[in-house]
Amino acid sequence: MVITATDPESSGIIGKGEFSNKEHVHVQKEKDRYRSELVTFHDFFNFKNLGLIIDESPVQQLAQVVKVVDEVASENNFNVIKCEGPIFSEASENKLDTLSRCVLELKDKIDALYLPVGFAVNDDFYQSIEPLIKNEIPTFSQHGDSQVQRT
């Protein structure tokens, strides 16, 4: 039984469709959740260049729905500008170093940011994304309201 998979289809846990295509696997899923969120974000802000901060590991990128972001970008005619770094790896001393570096690298190239799961919410989080706020860059947090409340 899989309860908390970010995107069980893209990650290969199960195939596409309303129900699991594997008899021995039960997955709760909200079909097209991340696609719908991203399309709504684009409809609202009509950005042309979306920043995406992701883990450097292709395996971890499955959990960060990178494939879905790329598909929605292609369908809606916007660019995805990616910045990669160690986010989930145990070798990553400070995940916020990756966030801070990528925000500085992307802030003048993007007009919106999609922030996938992987970043802890603590007092340094606001400091890391402050350049986005100063540049009035709309930012979508896949993690949820705990990141939004910190701003």
* pLDDT for residue 33: 78
Which pTM value belongs to this model? 0.76
* pLDDT for residue 70: 94
More confident residue, 48 or 18: 48
pLDDT digits (tens, 9 = 90+) for 63-82: 678 889 999 999 999 999 99
What angle (nearest 5°) sits at the alpha carbon of residue 91, between those of residues 90 and 97?
A: 105
Backbone angles phi, psi at 141, to 5 degrees: -105, 110
Yes or no: say if 115 and 139 are a contact pair by the CB < 8 Å rule. yes
Quote the CA–CA distance of 20 and 26 in Å, as a whole number.
6
Reported as a pLDDT band with limits 50, 70 and 90, residue 24 is confident
Q: Which range, 42-51, 86-95, 118-127, is most confident?
A: 42-51
For helices 95-106 and 123-134, the axis angle rounded to 10 degrees is 0
pLDDT digits (tens, 9 = 90+) for 97-148: 888 899 999 999 999 998 877 655 556 777 888 899 899 999 888 765 555 5
* pLDDT for residue 81: 97
Reported as a pLDDT band with limits 50, 70 and 90, residue 34 is confident
Torsion angle (degrees, nearest 10) of CA 94, 142, 71, 108 = -60
